[in-house]
Amino acid sequence: MNGINGANMSGGMVPFPAPAGHQAELNYIYGMVEELSRQLADNQRTLEEVVAGVGRVRSRARTHSLGNDELISSASDEVKAQEPNLDTLISILSEALEKAKFSRDANAALASQYASVLSAMLKQFHDYKARHVADVAAWHRSYRSQLAEARAENCALREQVWEMQARAGRANELLRRFRGRYNDDAARWERRVEARAVRQELRFWKRMAMPHLPEDDPCWSDDDDLVDSAEKRRLEDMSRLAAQQQQLAAAAGELGEIVGAGGGAGGGGAEDSDVPPEVPSVPGMPQGMAVMGGVPMQREDGAAMLPIPPPRPSSAASSTGSSGQ
């Protein structure tokens, strides 16, 4: 029997999502449909019993070749025997008929309610789909407009960057041309060389005139706060020479102490104690200068005691043309 029940309906219908309240209503509807199917099955079974009884009576009449009166008289006994049960059966059938009518009305109302619920759900689904499509379309339009604005802004920024790079390139090229022309000017270059040579020669004569000033005095710095390579080498040589003089002075002091201690222990004569110990000297420098560790300011003692002038920068002689000696 192809009964209409919840399982068959759920298996034949296309599944779709339903809210919680709608699912509860659907469960109630499915229960009522199952109850109606059970009642219809009972009615069908009772009707089959009635049809079977009528069939037995007809088969008996056909077998015994009985007419209607004889059939009625023969069946009257059975009818009278079943008369008490007929009232009960009639009452049961009447009650079943009433229940069937009530179930029919209830099922009709339930079917109409189910149809209205389904139509409402479909309407909600269609509305939701329409809103979703509209929202997605609006979002896509907004996204495309924002993307177009961003691309336009990026293009404008790129054009600005390219324009700035082009201007910077032109400015750099102009600056290179200006520097090239500025440096290629022979008169200006000669003036720069001459000014540098004059400053170096002036510094040279200052050292000659003021030997008492230390080497790290600010007076020896160049006017433009630039020290040439020759001056750097000269300063390094002077610092190295001063360090050697200090080492020689320390060695002379230690040797004098050793000689004095040896003379006192050996009991030497007075003439030996009066002679100072001999200390090694620096080539090109008198012994007294090496012991003192500096250049004495004694210009009247002769040419041998004059201080050695600092070397003149090579750029001064080559640039000015004067010897400076």
Confidence of residue 18 (pLDDT cuts 50, 70, 90): low
* Per-residue pLDDT at 296: 44
Give residue 1's pLDDT.
Answer: 40
Instruction: Write down the pTM of the prediction.
Output: 0.30
Q: In angstroms, rounded to a whole number, what is the distance separating the alpha carbons of residues 47 and 121? A: 40
Mean pLDDT for 313-319 is 49
- Other residues' Cβ atoms within 10 Å of the Cβ of residue 200: 22
CA distances from 151 to 139, 141, 142, 143, 293 (A): 18, 15, 14, 12, 79
User: Tell me, what's the pLDDT at 169?
Assistant: 95
pLDDT at residue 299, rounded to an integer: 45
Taking residues 244-261, report their average pLDDT.
87
In this structure, the dihedral spanned by the alpha carbons of residues 205, 208, 209 and 214, taken in order and rounded to 10 degrees, is 110
Q: Which residue has the higher pLDDT, 282 or 123?
A: 123
Mean pLDDT of 238-261: 88
Q: Kindly state the tokens that stand for 264.
A: 């006192």
> Residue 56: what pLDDT?
79
**Confidence label for 161 from pLDDT (cuts 50, 70 and 90):** very high
Residue 257 has pLDDT above 80, yes or no: yes
Convert the pLDDT of each residue in 137-148 to its tens digit. 999 999 999 999
Domains of the chain by residue range? 6-149, 185-320
Q: Residue 246 has what pLDDT? A: 92
